[in-house]
Amino acid sequence: MSRKHRVRRRLRCFGHIVNLCAQAFIMGKDAAKTCKDLDSAYREGDYSRIRELWKKRGAIGRLHNIVRYIRASPQRRQFFRSIQIGGDLAAFDGLELVQSQSTRWISYFLSIGPDLRIVI
């Protein structure tokens, strides 16, 4: 079998395909460039650039920034836990904020899932 045929018949990881599709849906047409820009900003420690890149992603980007801000220190996490007050939303008390990451598509779902349940 020629190399060309082997490449065509290669089995691709389903999880990787789903990850690429989810990133394209969340990040838009330029998902690869956005992920590359985010990775370089994380390596450089340029947090203002990271915030701006995520802010361009709309509501998901803003949620990412809020979660990142709260999870940045133990004091903020403790304050977040202290304002979960019960009442009509008591079922959501004790939820932890999950930080999304670009290498795992499920992390976006896990990050957004609890927030969507609160809205619904």
Tens digits of per-residue pLDDT, 70-115?
Answer: 888 899 888 887 776 666 666 666 667 766 665 655 666 666 665 5
Amino acid at 109: F
Residue 117 has pLDDT above 60, yes or no: no
Tally of CA atoms within 13 A in the half-sphere of 26 that contains its CB:
29
**DSSP-assigned states of every residue in 17-64:** HHHHHHHHHHH-TTHHHHHHHHHHHHHHT-HHHHHHHHHTTTHHHHHH
> What is the distance between the terminal CA atoms of the chain, rounded to a whole angstrom?
54
The overall average pLDDT reported for the chain is 73
